[in-house]
Amino acid sequence: MKLIIVIPDGMADLCYPELDNLSPVEYASTPNLDAVVRRGQVGLAKTMVSGLPLGSLVGIFGLLGYNPANYFPMGRSVFEARALNIPLAADDVAFRCNIVRVNEDGRLVDFTAGQISDAAAERYLAKVAPAAPFELYHDLSYRNILVWRNCPLVLPRLCLAEPHEHVGQPINRLLPVYEGQIYQPMVRLMQHSRWDGLMLWPWGAGRPAALPPLPYRLTMITALSFVAGLTQSLEGQAIIPVGATGYRNTDLTAKCAALTDRLAELDVGIIHCNAPDEEAHIQSLSGKIAAIEAIDREVIGPLLATLENRGEPYRLLVCPDHYTCCRDGRHRPDPVPFAVCGTGLRPDHALTGYSETAIHRTISEQHIDSYSLVALHLEKKF
């Protein structure tokens, strides 16, 4: 049995009056996702865990079959460092470090600095390189890794605000806090980096730790370093195809081909599509709808056709990793609706298409823990 998972990052959302009281995915044209629903089964997956960050690291950990509660605190920065070949010793700490935009009133107005280009990001970073003990490594667009060698901090005592959760708020209310006090070394780093409306924003701290390897052969297709690094840390194969950006301009056709070319050598294949999350964070309903339609057209449709034509047992699971709401640009902890079709599955509902509202009503709020989905649909016990 091949299990293929499409993760439309942050696709789950609320309903909006301007969309005729539909959610973005309900409003979008998604004939292929609707076909998955009609051919198969639907459910609700609990991807977020109480007490852990609301975000993709927790969600994707679960969709890989791991209970996230067993592996935190570990920031996504550790996995980004792995993907970028940045060595980390046991006493080192890595931080996710966004380039953000701050206005003249001192408010955080954009956690991506306007989805800054790589070239513009590198020009900015050349002007504001931090001093020791910090090292800064550029990743992609607004994303960077900040490393503190031999860091003396006890990480559970360090509070760092996630920038995507605090857009519009004054930065003086969001400064790093350690043991209940404003932590000046990191504040100075942030203040030193302010230039032409841009600033560095450290968050997502973590130290490296060993993880148990996957009990199946995984190929992960993604644009994001932390997803690639997480996969590598679990001894899976991670591929970032040329043209994969994490935004709406990403090359979804290349991502789909990268997976279908490797179907013979995997048990689980995943295509992670980040654009719906990015569009929701900037509160763009039209952008999120367009991103969802592109995933349906260029990923779900071709995958479904390829898997059917192979004539081998398969299941195709489409499951967001979390809610990201265009209303406020923030994540929510609600269980996410999923759809799965393939070998051995018969429809257990009367739905004709993918609808968050209808799936919640059909399932009556019962849900499955996301880390059970891989074993369930591979029909294996781990």
- Residues in a beta bridge with 332: 323
pLDDT at 372: 95
pLDDT at 366: 81
Q: How many residues does the chain have?
A: 382
Please report, for the chain, the start and end positions of each structural domain, with discontinuous segments joined by +.
Answer: 2-71+211-378, 78-206
How many angstroms separate the CA atoms of 327 and 283, rounded? 6
How many angstroms separate the CA atoms of 250 and 272, rounded? 11
DSSP at 296: I
As averages over each run of 10 residues, the pLDDT of the chain (382 residues) reads 97 98 98 98 96 93 95 85 95 97 96 96 96 94 97 95 94 97 96 97 93 96 96 97 96 98 97 97 97 98 97 97 96 97 94 96 87 89 52
pLDDT at 74: 74
- Residues in a beta bridge with 260: none
Nearest CA to 200 out of 245, 119, 281, 146 is that of 146
How many angstroms separate the CA atoms of 39 and 349, rounded? 10
DSSP at 202: E
Residues 234-288 have pLDDT tens digits of: 999 999 999 999 999 999 999 999 999 999 999 999 999 999 999 999 999 999 9
CATH of region 2-71+211-378: 3.40.720.10
The radius of gyration of the chain from alpha carbons, rounded to an integer in Å, stands at 20
Residues 282-307 have pLDDT tens digits of: 999 999 999 999 999 999 999 999 99
Residues 350-363 have pLDDT tens digits of: 999 999 999 999 98
